[in-house]
Amino acid sequence: HCIRSVLTLPRQLAEALQLRLRVPQTVLLASYPPGAYYRRHLDSYAGKDIPRYLTVLLYLGWAPQEGGQLRCHLPTGVRDIEPIPGRVVVFYSQEVEHEVLCSLGRRLALTLWIWDVKPDLKG
């Protein structure tokens, strides 16, 4: 049920944000071992790489004592998000710097990147 919800999310986001979005045919299903983490980064760098517009995360397995929170660096300050199974997190790939704190247990997550489709300038 959660995966089906994530796969229908791009259409809903496109309507809500009034954008033309494209979803690649692949998603990343990641299983990270204890001790894994990600350093602070962006998922896309303003047209200098893959044109990711939105990042969608679906958490699949976690317990509070395992750590591995998503830390978002926002203009208003730092926000830590617990990777509770079934939780979906959506953020702008080119704007939200984030990191994953060290996990003490196995961390499971599904990641989907949604691309912005720029209108053809020729009409």
pTM beyond 0.85: no
Helix H or strand E segment including 11: helix 2-17
Task: Tell the residue number behind the tokens 């939780």, with chain if given.
Answer: 87
Share of the chain above pLDDT 70, in %: 83
Q: Three-state SS for 4?
A: helix
pLDDT digits over 26-44, tens only? Answer: 788 989 899 999 999 999 8
Amino acid letter at 65?
A: Q
Q: Which of 59, 70, 74, 56 is nearest to 12 (CA)?
A: 56
Task: Tell the residue number behind the tokens 């990777």, with chain if given.
Answer: 83
pLDDT digits over 63-82, tens only? Answer: 889 999 999 999 999 999 99
pLDDT of residue 123: 36
Contacts of 26 (CB under 8 A, 6+ apart): none
Task: Enumerate domains of the chain plus CATH numbers.
Answer: 2-116 (2.60.120.620)
Per-residue confidence at 102, pLDDT binned at 50, 70, 90? Answer: very high
